[in-house]
């Protein structure tokens, strides 16, 4: 009888340990919105989605949040705190997450999210919203033999319109919300 209790206790303990090891932390995701459930909106002067996640973390009522990049309609980024956890929907406008989530940004070899490569510019131009965003900036650099790297600024971060900077020199990457960069050659 004693052995049976000990065996059950071991099985329960192992089950809890397995659940703890397999549990992945909740993560926020770029390019997703969570419409609905708003109870408060706060301007984000820094333009950094991580600040929105922190505001939610500090408010006991907050269950989820959505960060909206500046647009032609709003000159500043806005953080929307939510009293529930609405389902997420894909949208280039936003970064969203649940309370306790850190901000996850896309990472790959060709695109550096939230990175500015300041300096080395030889050409820059505005991009309209239907021009293709960071893909259009990257393509402009790839098509120009003089261009070695590029930086794309979302609307509201380097002027009202989105902006593309083509660079003749590869400068060190610096973290900066609202910017995307890459090295072509």
pLDDT value of position 114 = 86
pLDDT value of position 110 = 73
Q: Taking the model in full, what pTM does it have?
A: 0.66
pLDDT value of position 100 = 81
Nearest to 30 by CA among 110, 86, 114: 114
Q: What's the CA angle centered on 142, arms 147 and 155, to 5 degrees?
A: 85
CA–CA dist 185, 165 (Å, integer): 15
Question: How many alpha carbons fall within 13 Å on the CB side of residue 95?
Answer: 28
Query: Which domains are delineated in the chain?
Result: 27-104 (3.50.4.10), 112-183 (3.50.4.10)
pLDDT in tens, the chain (185 residues): 566 565 555 444 444 444 333 334 445 677 889 999 999 999 998 888 889 999 999 999 999 999 998 876 557 899 999 999 999 999 888 899 998 876 655 555 678 888 999 999 999 999 987 777 889 999 999 999 999 999 999 988 988 889 999 999 999 999 898 999 999 98
């Amino acid at each position: 009888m004693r052995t049976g209790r000990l065996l059950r206790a071991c099985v329960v303990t192992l089950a809890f340990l397995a659940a703890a090891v397999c549990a992945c932390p909740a993560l926020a995701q770029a390019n997703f919105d969570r419409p609905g459930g708003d109870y408060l909106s706060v301007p984000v002067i820094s333009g950094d989605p991580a600040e929105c996640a922190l505001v939610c973390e500090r408010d006991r009522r907050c269950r989820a949040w959505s960060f909206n990049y500046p647009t032609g309609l709003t000159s500043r980024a806005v953080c929307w705190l939510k009293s529930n956890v609405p389902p997420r929907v894909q949208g280039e406008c936003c970064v969203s997450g649940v309370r306790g989530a850190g901000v996850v940004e896309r990472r790959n070899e060709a695109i550096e999210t939230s990175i500015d490569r300041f300096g080395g510019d030889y050409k820059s131009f505005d991009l309209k919203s239907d021009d293709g965003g960071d893909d259009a900036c990257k393509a402009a650099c790839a098509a120009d033999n003089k261009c070695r790297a590029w930086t794309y600024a979302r609307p509201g971060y380097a002027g009202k319109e989105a902006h593309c900077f083509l660079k003749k020199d590869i400068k060190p990457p610096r973290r900066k919300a609202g910017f995307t960069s890459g090295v072509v050659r």
